[in-house]
A and B are shown apart, each in its own frame.
Chain A
Amino acid sequence: MGVQASNVTFAPWRWVIGSDMNDADDVRAVLAGDVDAYARLVDRYYDRCARYAVRMLGNRDDAEDALQATFLRAYRALARYKEQDKFSAWLYRILVNQCRSVAARRNHRDKVFIREEALLLNAPDRDRMWSGEDEEFVQRVLAELDPLLREAFVLKYIEELSYEEMATLTGVGISALKMRVKRACDRLRDRWERIKDE
C-alpha cells in the first residue's frame, strides 16, 4: 500500500439521527423567505452526505450529482418536512433514494475507480498513514458489491447507524438488513482473500 507524507489524525464522526433545534429553526427561516438559512442546513450536512454518496456511487462526479439532486429536492419539498421528525433523517432518506436512482441510471462499470490489483496484495497495517491509493481500493471493493449489499454495509459500518435507524431510512426490514450486511461482509472478506491468492 502506498504511504503519503501527511500524518492525518482522523476522528471518525458518525451520522447522528437526532433532534436538532437548529435544523427546525433554519427550516422555519427558509419557509419564511430566508434562503440563506438553507445554506446553513447545507453546510451542516454536506460533508456527511458527500461521504455516503461517494461510498455508494464510487466516484465524485456522480456523488456531486446525487448531492445536488438531494439538496434541491429537499429544498423544493421543505414544506413537507415535519418538525416532529428529524431533519437529518428526512434528508438522509432523500439522499439514499437519490443514490439508488443515480446508480440505476449509469453504467457504473465505466465510472468506478479501477486500479491495478497489485494494490490489494499487502495486508492492512493498522499504523499506516492515510493514502489515496487506499481510498481507491476501498472504492473498488465496495463498488463490486451488489448495490443492496453495499447500501446496507455503508449504512451499518461506515455511517454506523443502528439497524433500527437503517430500517427507518430504507424501509427495509431489520432481518433483511442484517442478512444483507452479513453477506456484504462475507463477500468483502472473500474478495480480499481471493485477491491475495491471485
Chain B
Amino acid sequence: MARHGSSIISTSTTRRHTEGIMDETPRTLPRQSATFTNEINSEIRRAAATGIYDIRGGGAKRRVPHFDDLLFLGASISRYPLEGYRETCDTRVTLGTRFASKPIELDIPVTIAGMSFGALSGPAKEALGRGATAAGTSTTTGDGGMTEEERGHSKMLVYQYLPSRYGMNPDDLRRADAIEIVVGQGAKPGGGGMLLGQKISDRVAEMRNLPKGIDQRSACRHPDWTGPDDLEIKILELREITNWEKPVYIKIGGARPYFDTTLAVKAGADVVVLDGMQGGTAATQDVFIEHVGQPTLACIRPAVQALQDLGMHREVQLVVSGGIRHGADTAKALALGADAVAIGTAALVALGDNDPRWEEEYQALGTTTGAYDDWHEGRDPAGITTQDPDLAARFDPVAGGRRLANYLRVMTLEAQTIARACGKNHLHNLEPEDLCALTLEASAMTGVPLTGTNWVPGQGGF
C-alpha cells in the first residue's frame, strides 16, 4: 500500500506526490494464508452450509514420510548383483505357518486388501478375484460378507471377521482360505465401517440384515471380546470351528504398532496385517483419515522389532499395507522386515478407478481425475465403487481382472529387479542394510542410516 509522505503538504501536492509514488511503487501481491488456505476455507464454508463433517473414501492425502524417502544402495564391490533375466529371484511367500494346518502359499508377496461388497460392486469384487488368482495371490472380503462373485473367482480368499459381523456364518468361514480378524484399519484406527444409504441396495441390505437405504455405521469394537485375553479365546473358538486348518490373521491400524503386534502374537495370530494411515477406506470422516493414525513407513520398524523381540520374526508373518504403489515400495517394505504387502487403492486404480477417460463426468461431480474420492455416494463414473446397476455395468470384470493381473506382475518384476541389483535371490533376502534414507525423519523412523552417512538419529555416531 502507498503511503502519504507528509501531513503538511497541500491536498493538490499530496495527490501529485502520491500519484508519483503509486507509479513507481510496486503493489504487494495478495497474500494467501498458509493456515487458512483456500482449501481449508472451502471446507469451513461447506461445514457451515451442511452441518455435517466431510465424508470421503481413500486414505490420507497429506504428505507424510513414505517409502519415497528411502533408496536402495545397489550392488558394489562388497556386494555382487544377480543377472537380471538369468538368475532366479524367488518371490514366493507362505502365510500362516505358526498354527494353521493349511497355510496360504502365494506366488508373489503382494496381496489384495479387504474391500467390501457394498463399498464395491459385485463385478469389481469379481475382477479383484480374477486378477489376484491369475497373479497367484490372495484377495480379501470386507465388511459385508462373502459373495459368490469373489469366492468363485478367487483361488485364495481371506475372510474378514469384523466387529459388525455382517454376513458372518460358519459355512463361509469354512470355505475361506484364511480368516482375518479386523481390529483396526489404517485410514481410521478406532473407527468402524460406514456405508451410506445410497449404497444400501436390496442385495447389500439383505446380506447385512439391515433396512434398505439407511446410513449404516458399523461398530468399532467387536461385540463379544474386548482385550487381548478375550481375543485369544476368540481365536481358539474360530480355530475349533474350522478344525485348526485356516491361518488366522489379525489386522491392525497404524496406532501403536509395537504393542499391537506384540499383543496380536500373544493372542495367537498366525499373521499380523499392519495398515498405515495412507491405507484407504470406502467412507469415513475426512478429519479421521487425515488426523488419526501413523504413516505406514513409521509403523514397520516397531512391528518388526516386536516380532524380533518375541523371537517370532518370520514365524508370524507381517503383511504391510497403506500406500503401496509399485515394486519399489514392495521391495522397501520387505527390506524393512515385512513378509508381504497388501494393496487396495492401487488395485482399484488398476481396475480403472480415477481414470482420465471419465474426466468429463468427474468434472460434472465437481472433481477431477485423481481427486475423485466420494466413493460413498455410489456415483462412481468408472462403475467400481457403486451399487447402481447402470454404472456397475460400465465395468468389465474380465478386462479389469486382466489389468490387475498385469499390474501385480509388473510390481513383482520391479521388486525382483531391485532385489537382483542388491544381489538377492529371494525378495525376502532384502534387508535394511540394502537401504539408505533421504531424510532425517525417514532415517529416524526406519533405523536406516541417512544417505551419505552412517548415522541414524537417536542411535549416535556420525
Do A and B interact? Answer: no
B-binding residues in A (CB < 8 A): none
